[in-house]
Chain A
Amino acid sequence: MPTLFPNPEELALILPQIWLAAFGLAILLLDFLLGPRQKWVNAFGALLGVAASGVALWRLRGVHAVGVPGFGGAIVVDPFFVFFGFLFLASTALVILLSVRYLEVEEEHRGEYYALMLFATVGMMFLAAGTDLVVIFVALETMAASFYVLTGYLRRDKRSNEAALKYLLLGAFSSGLLAYGFSVLYGMAGSTRLTEIGYAFRTPSNEIFPVVALVAVAAGLFFKVAAVPFHQWAPDVYEGAPTPVTAYVSVASKAASFAVLMRLFLVVFEPMRANWELLLGGIALATMTWGNLAALTQTNVKRLLAYSSIAHVGYILLGLVAGNETGLKGMAFYLFAYAFMNTGAFAIVILLRRKGVIGDELDDMNGLIYRNPTAAVLMVIFLISLAGIPPTAGFLGKYFIFLSLIESQHYLLAVFAVLYIVPAVYYYFRIVVHMWLREATDATRPAISPAQAVALAACTLVTLGALLYAEPFVRLATYSLLGSVVR
């Protein structure tokens, strides 16, 4: 039985989160001491926090396959959590590096921004670790609330305000759906622990509760990952949010939502796979279709990347439809590759932001090859990877998904998944055309700050390295699946 005060071993299990929260609080206090020119110290502090958390997480890597439960079964530290934890920390670090210059240009450089990012990461990590409905719900809201505020962070910008409002309304609505589903799950098991609920699901006491729980929980989670038909918020939020936050929402919040989606579907809903496999396949297909088609006509780079990210969600969901080891490995690897290639693409958009120019329209990309050849070449690499063309990480992610679909004999879905690469290549190529073939409309040369250079280098390295030197990355994805998530 859990005691009132946790013992040191239990605290060690949540040490990564404790570090993040401690540094977040420290930044809030430190911010008052810093002059307007010294705000980068906040960013440095946030990076230190991420590093400290990373070290604590690294110490936990040796956990055995079933994982170590903590706090009376409220969380579990298993390879699945460790993998996603590192993914969150990596994307947080990248976004912090990209934020410094952007916030200086916006003249909104304050410590709260970094503190909120760290708190969001705390929420995400508990989300990936949570094996209790209460923990999952509260962690999800911690993450989401931080993102609502970060989205509306540019207070003077009406676009940012409206994006935050829309995000918050739809986010709160989806949380309501999710909570209703959770209430039914609780009603079935008489417990909030996922393992107990999993047992109750194998022998449900009636026909109706499992269906209602599945529909409500799935709808709530599809909102969070922006799957069709619950994707409407994504393009508006992506466009209105400050670009580093857009990158963060599209990468980290998506990975966190997928982490909880995988855990719930594989631990709780697995006994009724026959019921949801078709539903999920349909949703994935609709998501790929709508995301790819809507991206074709976009003229704003952030909106285009938003629709393309919806298409990527479709691909990742296919891994769960296949449900075999390759598919789940593919999901983990896809999310990992997506984090780096998508952040990289947004990093180039961030470069184009300067005083008086927002830089997120397709025409702002014109002639980038003459204005900053490095940025243009890197952008091409990220776009190739997003389209799923070798030799990049994106290709390997898609390859695993296709393979898993064929292995599990979902041939129709596999055909569609391959076909949709064509429109994807087309709309990503439009950006390339603007960069290489169009006359530059303004002659300014966007510079790359040292912090941005580090982030870009990391993104490029992983995007290219993950295929050319794939073995450790694949092992990483395989490692994530050791444990209780997959039987």
Chain B
Amino acid sequence: MVSPSYYLTLSAILFGLGVIGFLFKRNIITLFMSIELMLNAVNLAFVTFSRQWGELSGQVYVFFVIIVAAAEAAVGLAIILLLARNRQTLNVERINLLKL
């Protein structure tokens, strides 16, 4: 029997790695992957708690987190594609870009 604190520690490590990846990486797509890593850690925590309480709503929550991750990925990757496509055709009307 593995103690739940081990699962929670694993979840915290994965979450921390996701946060670090998000803040220190330069590549947009890797930033997205870091967010997926964070959500994955959240899922692990939910499943652990669900097991401890013997109660299933934690598992249902994970199901919704995965839906949300899918929706975010779809919208985000569409925006990345759009941005990549627009790089060549810069609109002269708006030259000053955001201070990114």
In their complex, do chains A and B touch, with some C-beta pair under 8 Å? yes
Residues of the B chain whose Cβ atoms lie less than 8 Å from the Cβ of A107? none
Residues of the A chain whose Cβ atoms lie less than 8 Å from the Cβ of B18? 176
Report Cα–Cα, A234/B52, bound state, in Å.
Answer: 40
Which of A81-89, A187-195, A270-278, A420-428 binds B? Answer: A187-195
Residues of the B chain whose Cβ atoms lie less than 8 Å from the Cβ of A358? 93-94
Report the interface size for chain B: residues with CB under 8 A from the other chain: 47
| B3 at the binding interface (Cβ < 8 Å) | no
Residues of the B chain whose Cβ atoms lie less than 8 Å from the Cβ of A157? 91, 94
Residues of the B chain whose Cβ atoms lie less than 8 Å from the Cβ of A180? 15, 38, 41-42, 45
Q: How far apart are A16's CB and chain B's nearest CB, in angstroms?
A: 22
B32 near A169: Cβ-Cβ < 8 Å: yes
Residues of the A chain whose Cβ atoms lie less than 8 Å from the Cβ of B67? 138
Known: A138-B64, A149-B75, A356-B93. A156 touches B86 (CB 8 A): yes
A158 near B32: Cβ-Cβ < 8 Å: no
Known: A172-B35, A236-B99. A183 touches B42 (CB 8 A): yes
Interface residues of B in 19-74 (CB under 8 A from A): 22, 28, 31-32, 35, 38-39, 41-42, 45-46, 48-50, 52-53, 55, 57-58, 60-61, 64-65, 67-68, 71-72
Report Cα–Cα, A148/B55, bound state, in Å.
Answer: 34
Contact with B along A159-178 (1 / 0, CB 8 A): 10111111011001101110
Contact with B along A200-242 (1 / 0, CB 8 A): 0000000000000000000000000000000000001001100
Known: A173-B22, A183-B42, A236-B100. A158 touches B91 (CB 8 A): yes
| A145 at the binding interface (Cβ < 8 Å) | yes
Q: How far apart are A151's CB and chain B's nearest CB, in angstroms?
A: 9
Q: How far apart are B63's CB and chain A's nearest CB, in angstroms?
A: 9
Known: A162-B98, A172-B76. A138 touches B49 (CB 8 A): no
In the complex formed, the residue of B with least CB distance to A178 is B42
| A184 at the binding interface (Cβ < 8 Å) | yes
Q: Which of A159, A163, A239 has the most CB of B within 10 A?
A: A159
Residues of the A chain whose Cβ atoms lie less than 8 Å from the Cβ of B100? 162, 166, 236
Known: A168-B72, A180-B41, A183-B42. A191 touches B91 (CB 8 A): no
Residues of the A chain whose Cβ atoms lie less than 8 Å from the Cβ of B83? 158, 161-162, 165
Residues of the A chain whose Cβ atoms lie less than 8 Å from the Cβ of B91? 156-158
Majority DSSP secondary structure for residues of B touching A: helix
A158 near B31: Cβ-Cβ < 8 Å: no
Residues of the B chain whose Cβ atoms lie less than 8 Å from the Cβ of A148? 75-76, 79
A158 near B35: Cβ-Cβ < 8 Å: no
| B80 at the binding interface (Cβ < 8 Å) | yes
Residues of the A chain whose Cβ atoms lie less than 8 Å from the Cβ of B58? 183, 186, 192
Interchain CB contact (< 8 A) of B38 among A162, A176, A187: A176
B79 near A168: Cβ-Cβ < 8 Å: yes
| A141 at the binding interface (Cβ < 8 Å) | yes
Report Cα–Cα, A191/B53, bound state, in Å.
Answer: 9
A236 near B68: Cβ-Cβ < 8 Å: no
Report Cα–Cα, A165/B32, bound state, in Å.
Answer: 11
Report Cα–Cα, A93/B7, bound state, in Å.
Answer: 48
A183 near B94: Cβ-Cβ < 8 Å: no
Q: How far apart are A127's CB and chain B's nearest CB, in angstroms?
A: 14
Report Cα–Cα, A182/B60, bound state, in Å.
Answer: 13
B98 near A240: Cβ-Cβ < 8 Å: yes
A187 near B45: Cβ-Cβ < 8 Å: yes
| A429 at the binding interface (Cβ < 8 Å) | no
| B97 at the binding interface (Cβ < 8 Å) | yes
Q: How far apart are A182's CB and chain B's nearest CB, in angstroms?
A: 8
| A179 at the binding interface (Cβ < 8 Å) | yes
Residues of the B chain whose Cβ atoms lie less than 8 Å from the Cβ of A34? none
A179 near B93: Cβ-Cβ < 8 Å: no
> Which A-B residue pairs are the 8 nearest by beta carbons?
A190-B53, A176-B38, A187-B49, A183-B45, A179-B42, A161-B83, A236-B98, A141-B68
Seed contacts A159-B98, A182-B61, A191-B55; 14 additional CB < 8 Å A-B pairs: A137-B61, A141-B68, A141-B72, A162-B98, A165-B80, A168-B76, A169-B32, A173-B22, A176-B38, A179-B39, A180-B15, A183-B11, A186-B58, A356-B93
Binding site for B on A (CB under 8 A): 133-134, 137-138, 141, 145, 148-149, 152, 155-159, 161-166, 168-169, 172-173, 175-177, 179-180, 182-184, 186-187, 190-192, 236, 239-240, 356, 358
27 contacts between A and B (CB under 8 A): A155-B86, A157-B91, A158-B83, A158-B86, A158-B94, A158-B97, A161-B83, A162-B97, A162-B100, A165-B28, A165-B79, A166-B98, A169-B22, A169-B28, A169-B35, A172-B72, A176-B35, A177-B38, A179-B42, A180-B41, A180-B45, A183-B61, A187-B45, A187-B52, A192-B58, A240-B98, A358-B93
